[in-house]
Amino acid sequence: MSDAGTSTRKTTQTLQLGDGFPMPRHVAIIMDGNGRWAAARGLPRVEGHRRGVEALRKTVRAASDLGIGFLTIFSFSSENWARPQAEIQDLLSLLRRFIRNDLIDLHKSNVRVRIIGERDDLDREIRLMLEEAEDLTRNNDGLTLVVAFNYGARQEIARAARRIAAEVAEGRLSIEEVTPELLSRYLDCPDMPDPDVIIRTSGEQRLSNFLLWQAAYSELVFVPINWPDFDRSALEGAIAEYRRRERRFGGLIAQTGS
C-alpha cells in the first residue's frame, strides 16, 4: 500500500470540514456482488472474486489515507462453506494469494491485521497464514484491518456465551455479573470499537449475520454498485452519507462522537 500523497491529504481535509457527524472511527463493509458483477459481463464467478480483491486493495489504501482507525471486511462467512466446492477453492486460493502478495505491503504501510471468526476447524495451512498475518503486523499502529473469516455473528455470540457459562460453572463469575458490557469482553475482538457505519454493496439491504452484536447503533449505508466496482470515490460517498445522519444511540439528543 502506498503512502498518501498531497491530493489525498486535501481529500481527507475536505471530508472533515463542514457540518455533520465527524469522520467514522470504524467502518465495516459487507463486500457483496462479485458473482453478479461477473455474470453481467459473461465472466466466470472467480473473475468477480479476483476483481473483488483489487477493490479491497483500493479500499484499504483509501481507508488508511482518510485516517479511519478500523476497517472490518466480511471476507468469508461461516455459511459460505455451503457454496460449490470449486468456488470455495477459488476463494481460498485468493485468500492465500492476498496474504502472500499483500501482507508485506500492508506491514510496510503500518497496517495491523486482525482476524475474527472460528479458527479451530480451519485447515492448518489457512490457520497458520492467518496467524502469520496477525503476528507480523501486531505492533503496527496505523489502520487496523479486521478480517472476518469463517465468521458468523450468531456463532460469535454463542462462543462468548459458552465461555461465560464455563466461568460461571467453575465459580469464577456469578450470574449477576453477566451484563452486556461483560459479554462484549468475550467477543472475538473485545477491544475493537463498535462500527460507526456498516456499508453493504450490491444493493442488498440486510446484515447477513455480520457483527450483529456490535451493530446495535451502527448507521447502515447500502450502495447499489457491486463490490468489484467499489473504489475510493464510493467509500467517500458512503462516508458522506453517514456524516449526514443524526446518531442518537437510543436517546433524544444527537451524539457528536463515539
Active site residues: 32, 80
Q: Which residues are CB-neighbours of 11 under 8 A, at least 6 positions away?
A: 65, 66, 236
- Which of 66, 56, 67, 8 is CA-nearest to residue 29? 56
Residue 155: how many other CB atoms lie within 10 Å: 17
Helix, strand, or coil (residue 74): strand
Q: Which residues are CB-neighbours of 102 under 8 A, at least 6 positions away?
A: 1, 57
Q: What is the 3-state secondary structure (H, E, C) of 15-41?
A: HHCCCCCCCCCEEEEECCCHHHHHHHC
